[in-house]
Amino acid sequence: MADQSDSAGGATGMQAPGGPGYGTQAPGGPGYGMQPPAGYGYPGGAPLPSGKATASMVLGIVGLLLIPIIPPIIALCLGVSARRMADRGEGGGRGMATAGMVMGIIGIAFAAFGVIVATVQTFAAI
């Protein structure tokens, strides 16, 4: 058999790591950590969520966890407004607005249930 020790690893047709073709880049191409030139990528991108949508979701969470009377009402109103804005294309955050609306409705229902229970207990004690 012929001695093939002059090729990388003893196999013919393979190149050694670090040889031509391994880890090389096209001339002028961006390297690691560099940003591509402007004008590349998806044009436009997704719109950022509006402040109303964010406030609606935050107030919905606060209404469910901490204060069950006023924040859910505000969350519902802001959620409706933010969702309409998102539908018109004036901003993003439709999902956040919907979440705020749902949490606002649930918070209002919990508050109404609490008021009804308190009222019934008050009249039952009389």
pLDDT of 24 reads: 58
pLDDT of 125 reads: 84
pLDDT in tens, 33-87: 666 566 555 566 778 899 999 999 999 999 999 988 899 999 999 999 999 999 9
- What percent of the chain shows pLDDT beyond 70? 65
pLDDT of 46 reads: 78
pLDDT of 21 reads: 55
Q: What is the mean pLDDT of the chain?
A: 81
Structure-token match 């505000």, residue found: 74
- What percent of the chain shows pLDDT beyond 90? 55
pLDDT of 12 reads: 55
Cα(91)–Cα(89) distance, rounded to whole angstroms? Answer: 6
**Enclosing H/E stretch for 60:** helix 51-65
Cα(77)–Cα(56) distance, rounded to whole angstroms? Answer: 8
Cα(99)–Cα(59) distance, rounded to whole angstroms? Answer: 10
Mean pLDDT, rounded, for 98-116: 96
